[in-house]
Amino acid sequence: EKADREKQINIVAANCVMNQKTQASVCTKDVVLTQGTLSIRADKLTVRQDEAGNQYVAGNGGPVRFRQKMDGGNDWVDAEAQRFDYDGRTGILKLIDKAWVKRGEDQIHSDLITYDLNNEAYQAQSKPESGGRVNIVITPKKAPAP
Partner 1 sequence: MPGTTRLLPLALVVLLGSLTWLLDRAASLPGSAVAINANQPDMLVDKATAVRFGEDGRPLSLLTATHVSHLPAGDITWLENPHLRYTAPDQPRLEVTGERAKSIKQGSEVWFPGVVKMVRSASATQAELTINGRDMRVLPQEGLASSEAPAIAVMGTYVIESVGFIADSKAETLELKSKVRMSYEPIRTR
Footprint of partner 1 (CB under 8 A)? 5-6, 8-21, 25, 27, 49, 51-55
Contact 115, 95 (CB under 8 A): yes
Backbone angles phi, psi at 54, to 5 degrees: -75, 140
Please state the closest distance from residue 97 (CB atom) to partner 1, in A.
26
Please state the closest distance from residue 101 (CB atom) to partner 1, in A.
24
Nearer to partner 1, 11 or 70 (CB): 11
Nearer to partner 1, 49 or 82 (CB): 49
Contact 57, 50 (CB under 8 A): no
Q: Whose CA is closest to 102, among 130, 65, 48? A: 65
Please state the closest distance from residue 31 (CB atom) to partner 1, in A.
9
CA atoms within 13 A on the CB side of 88: 19
Please state the closest distance from residue 45 (CB atom) to partner 1, in A.
11
CA atoms within 13 A on the CB side of 51: 0
Nearer to partner 1, 32 or 92 (CB): 32
Nearer to partner 1, 50 or 78 (CB): 50
Q: What does each C-alpha distance from 95 to 30, 33, 88, 143 come to in angstroms?
A: 19, 16, 14, 30
Nearer to partner 1, 19 or 125 (CB): 19
Please state the closest distance from residue 21 (CB atom) to partner 1, in A.
5
CA atoms within 13 A on the CB side of 133: 3
